[in-house]
Amino acid sequence: AKCQCKLLPKERTNCGYPGISAAECKKIGCCFNSSTPSVPWCYTPKPKKVKKVCPNDPYARINCGYPGIKAKECTKKGCCFRAHPAGVPWCFYHRVTEE
């Protein structure tokens, strides 16, 4: 993503080899910006921002508890709790999504 490449020149970490082309640099998952001399032009992007969300689809839930687990016990384990619908886990793992 473009926003991952918005780094100050002094924050850049070299990601390629001297003389790497923009296309080759991008192919290996790095950022390329040749506007500033004497800093890496091919550099490591900022890490992706991720956030934990509780999946909305009840059938996509991955069980994190046991039958009859209480909401408090479930959240203490760091999981999501929704006491509906029947027949699916009520205590389930978060999904990680990119922001």
| Full domain range(s) for residue 84 | 50-98
* Position 3 pLDDT exceeds 90: no
87 to 36, 64, 67: CA distances (angstroms): 59, 15, 10
User: For the chain, how many structural domains are there in total?
Assistant: 2
pLDDT at 49: 82
Distance between CA atoms of residues 99 and 95, nearest Å: 12
Q: Does residue 1 register a pLDDT over 80?
A: no
57/93 same-domain check? yes
Q: Tell me what the pLDDT averaged over the chain comes to.
A: 92
- CATH at 40: 4.10.110.10
